């Protein structure tokens, strides 16, 4: 049963990750540093979530986020990786990223192949994109958190 405290609002600088999102998966992610991840609510379950993200004071975009240890890659450190549903023209390492995490999508899982992992992520993106169009989630795009 999912019991994570939502919504949550997180901000911090975009840090370099493992470089797998863009290179291995074709699904770029913006990552938070270990310090930001350590400050997440202790009862935020590992898994996939969706919500909204903003880089610096730019436009607010849909996002899908993985929190956990990425069992496919056997990570030993908990990460928070955000895939923003927007094609940026440049890298933005070191930029301020704000996210509003709204809903839990699924638990963290392992996959037998990279193709199955990519398929699951694409499914997550599709579901999240549709869900974020619902009024109860869409209203958070204009939340005061993104206006400051």
Which residues are annotated as catalytic? 81
Tokens in use for 14?
A: 């975009």
E strand or H helix that includes residue 125: helix 114-131
CA dihedral angle for residue 1, residue 46, residue 102, residue 112, rounded to 10 degrees: -90
How far is it, in rounded angstroms, from Cα 65 to Cα 128?
10
Closest-CA residue to 102 (of 127, 128, 78, 137): 137
Taking alpha carbons only, the member of 87, 79, 36, 94 closest to residue 62 is 87
């Amino acid at each position: 049963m999912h019991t994570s405290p939502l919504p949550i609002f997180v901000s911090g600088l975009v840090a370099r990750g493992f470089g797998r999102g863009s290179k291995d998966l074709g699904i770029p992610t913006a990552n938070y540093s270990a310090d930001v991840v350590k400050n997440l609510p202790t009862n935020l379950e590992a898994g996939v979530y969706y919500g909204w993200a903003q880089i610096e004071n730019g436009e607010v975009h849909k996002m899908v986020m993985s929190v956990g240890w990425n069992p496919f890659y056997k990570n030993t450190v908990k990460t928070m990786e955000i895939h923003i549903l927007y094609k940026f023209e440049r890298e933005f390492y070191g930029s301020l990223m704000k996210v509003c995490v709204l809903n839990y999508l699924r638990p963290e899982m392992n996959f037998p192949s990279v193709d199955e992992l990519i398929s699951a992520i694409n499914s997550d993106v599709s579901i999240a994109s549709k869900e974020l169009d619902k009024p109860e989630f869409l209203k958070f795009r204009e939340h005061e958190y993104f206006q400051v």
